[in-house]
Structure 1
Amino acid sequence: MRRLRRVAITTAVLLAAAGLNVIQSSAAQAALPTAAVALGDSFVSGEGAGDYQPVVDANGASQGFPGWSAPNDNAYFCHRSANASLFKANLPGIQDRFNLACSGGQPHDVANASSARANGRTVKSQLDQLRAVAQTHDIDVVLIGLGSNNSQFTFGDVATLCANRFIADAWTGWWEFWAYLGGDVPQEPCTVSDLGSPAEVATATDETTAALRQILDTLAQVDADGVHQVVLQTYTNPLPLDVATQYRDEDGRTDTRDKFRDLGAERYAAGCPIHRASLAPGHVFSTNLGELVKNAYNTLAAERPAANLRVLDVQRAFDGARLCENPGSPSGTLATPVRVMEGPTGNHVTSLSGWDKIRIQRAANACVTYFQTCQESWHPNAAGHTVLGQCLSGALTAATRTVVTCARNANGTLSIS
């Protein structure tokens, strides 16, 4: 098939040199196998879903798991999962699928090597990777998830901020806070402004829109037949608006009290170490991310009315199955719990019961030094990516060409509208 395409291109070049108009034949286009491609960040790369595949780095070397103590910029830590939603979706007519997304991916990484920015990974720009796929395949479906990471904020930083404040509040007494720590360790719940101000969201929207425009321009240049469906996916919150009753207090203490270690350990074990008062601001933040994607879509749809472009709104795709929404969490949920390691050991800590603040700080420091030890936290798990794959299938077959909503019903089924 590749040889057929090269012959067609060579013939086209010769005819063009002879001064003849050239239109590549539909037969030559049909010789290319069809492909679906995923671009963007962790919510489409498959972060949290396990079974991570080797990733080719910027130098062309395939990087398998490099060990827990390896630098986090290693291409493998893009965490491209065989369980990612792209591979779980029903895509009739698609012969091959390519996951080009990278955990932590930003709009910057679309047209530039990720390693050119701080904390980027050693992979080529996503556009270069897309062009490579187009050399051998006719790209028919493109799933894009961009917006949660940018020059203004990142999902990882937001999650770390709120979790760390809760843990500090749970284990550090007021007298220790002032006497030993100088009063400089934030312990209050997160607010909306802590997570993303209107100005920051506006700048992030501009960055995301510009990156999406670059993707659409590149597709117009490289897609064999110029026909492709582009789906812009929003985000879903791994946490509920409030936790189940059993996670609200422990040993007579709530998270509005000083030093609530038993409750802190209970919520960590359940996967939701966060103040109840931080949950509503978190949902405002995830809603803002959804609006960011929709606003980018509105801009691009106005510019390109003929483009086959739509939004897949998945903000309600995990309704009723979020962390700590029901007793028994994290079992039965669609998201990964917050988990740390005591150093790059490969052994995730599932319980903080009986731990003192020094030991907890040591584990938290391991996450800073070796981010891969905790980077799966608060992402869709394998079951969650299966749900997102079903949402993608529904979005591609929905009659609407604008915003498709995928919501989880109380019985676990999905509604696509």
Structure 2
Amino acid sequence: MSGFRRTVLVAALAVATATLSAAVVPAAPASAALPTAAVALGDSFVSGEGAGAYAPVVDINGVAQGFPGWTASNSNAYFCHRSANASLHRANLPGIQARFNLACSGGQPHDIATASAARTKGRQVAAQLDQLRAVAQTHDIDLVLVGLGSNNSSFTFGDVAETCANRFIADAWTGWWEFWAYLNGPVEQKPCSDADLATAAQYSAATAETVTAVRQLLTTLDQVDADGQHRIVFQDYTNPLPFDLHPNFHSEDSRDDTRDKFRALGAERYAAGCPIHRASLLPGHHFSQGLGTLVKTTRDTLAAEFPGADLVYLNVQRAFDGARLCETAASPTGALATPIRLQDDPPNGVFVTSLSGKDKIAIQRIANTCATYFQTCQESWHPNAAGHQVLGQCLSGAATTAARAVSCVRAGDGAITVS
């Protein structure tokens, strides 16, 4: 056989062998796509505080913590209050197969990358990014709801609410000549001002903290998300109180809240869920608007740093219009936020719904119960289950919009629009 024919034969045999091998050896299977997921990160306004139906929460040691009792330490992981009624679980999210609520009531920017157990008053849970990494091992993260900024190193929503409510209660039950000794010391008897809630310097510091935390979130998502495609929705905060109270709550027994000692009016507003001076309402809305600016600035700053990221700002400051506490005469019935509710000492889960007939000693004891066992009152002035249902509608719109910033507004008939 000539060399040429031998070469041709060998080449033909090689082709035949390769063809046969391709026919009998199956191709490697394609990697199975992970199920899609939406996750919530941040604080109480996305964890579901106020909405009830709280699920056990896995603590930093890997132990699922159910309700530990009213006198347990408030650092218990359960008091993250992750609710089955939270907006993440109520939103219509086409294409999402699983939802994970990783937010924690009281959460701060610190808690995104570092375990909150490492800071004062932090709960015993792992860093939210560590929890997110665990989800990313089994799911393709397509949507992230972020609610962050109302609690930080400078101020917290809980402290702001407590300050203004306590001032009103102290003013209502005591005269200017009387000493008011709360657990944490005397309480001023005057409305809250803008400076009492947050200063420009505090907003600036809080914004810097929040930007840093969300930058860490975006970097982590780029590292762990299965397909690299995900939308981040930055939700801000809605105020549970109106710009002014319904006229029914302006005065009682010919006394309003601009004069000394007005117990009947104090009891009336507490029962309705809004124990606060009318003069404190506008500063409260300035505070909510300041938080909105903080959240939008965070979104815009990071959009410039991550030009390829899908970042949407969701403004919910008008989502409760017409259904805030004491906005109607029937309050708290029909409101979308939880009224301020306290327990007596010892706390046993029974909320005090009326302060009528109670003297200042009883009022002091009840107020101190909130200070000692914060879990007994931490639901106060948060969206209730119906409120989180509305916020879920807001999230539904933000999850599908082509815009980079949208507002969620409640009309007089209760209709919700996102545009």
Q: TM-score, normalised by structure 2?
A: 0.91
1:167 to 154, 166, 169: 169
SS at match of 1:215: helix
CA separation in 2, counterparts of 1:327 and 1:187? Answer: 26
Alpha-carbon distance change, 69 to 298 in structure 1, aligned in 2, over 3 angstroms? same
Cα contact 1:44–1:84 (8 A) shared by 2:
yes
Cα contact 2:182–2:368 (8 A) shared by 1:
no
Offset at residue 342 of structure 1 (A): 0.3
Alignment of 1:134-149 (within 5 A): 134-149=136-151
CA separation in 1, counterparts of 2:390 and 2:236? Answer: 14
Alignment of 1:184-263 (within 5 A): 184-263=186-265
Matching residue of 2:328? 326
Cα contact 1:177–1:185 (8 A) shared by 2:
no
Matching residue of 2:73? 71
Offset at residue 304 of structure 1 (A): 1.1
Residue deviations 1:148-169, cap 9 Å, x none?
A: 0000000000000000000000
CA separation in 1, counterparts of 2:180 and 2:128? Answer: 48
CA separation in 2, counterparts of 1:96 and 1:389? Answer: 15
Offset at residue 179 of structure 1 (A): 12
Matching residue of 1:297? 299
Name the amino acid aligned to 1:152.
Answer: S
Matching residue of 2:381? 378
2:290 to 288, 291, 300: 288
Alignment of 1:361-376 (within 5 A): 361-376=364-379
Residue deviations 1:320-357, cap 9 Å, x none?
A: 00000011100000000000000221001000000111
Matching residue of 2:399? 396
Matching residue of 1:270? 272
Matching residue of 2:46? 44
Offset at residue 257 of structure 1 (A): 1.0
CA RMSD of aligned residues (A): 1.7
Any stretches of 5+ residues in structure 2 without a counterpart?
Answer: 1-27
Matching residue of 2:11? none
Residue deviations 1:209-228, cap 9 Å, x none?
A: 00000000000000011000
Offset at residue 177 of structure 1 (A): 4.0
Residue deviations 1:38-87, cap 9 Å, x none?
A: 00000000000000000000000000000111000000000000000000
Name the amino acid aligned to 2:279.
Answer: A
CA separation in 2, counterparts of 1:26 and 1:352? Answer: 69
| Percent of paired sites with the same residue | 72
1:81 has 2:77 as partner: no
2:92 to 90, 93, 99: 90
Residue deviations 1:174-212, cap 9 Å, x none?
A: 22249999x953011000000000000000000000000
1:411 has 2:418 as partner: no
Cα contact 1:267–1:273 (8 A) shared by 2:
yes
Cα contact 1:243–1:325 (8 A) shared by 2:
yes
CA separation in 2, counterparts of 1:179 and 1:245? Answer: 32
CA separation in 2, counterparts of 1:230 and 1:284? Answer: 26
Any stretches of 5+ residues in structure 1 without a counterpart?
Answer: 1-24
Matching residue of 1:59? 61
* Higher Cα Rg, which structure: 2
1:358 to 358, 361, 368: 361
Name the amino acid aligned to 1:415.
Answer: T
CA separation in 1, counterparts of 2:267 and 2:180? Answer: 23
2:154 to 149, 152, 155: 152
Name the amino acid aligned to 1:253.
Answer: R
SS at match of 1:309: strand
Residue deviations 1:396-416, cap 9 Å, x none?
A: 12221x111100001100121
CA separation in 1, counterparts of 2:197 and 2:30? Answer: 52
CA separation in 1, counterparts of 2:171 and 2:161? Answer: 16
Residue deviations 1:212-261, cap 9 Å, x none?
A: 00000000000011000110000000000000000000000000010000
SS at match of 1:380: coil
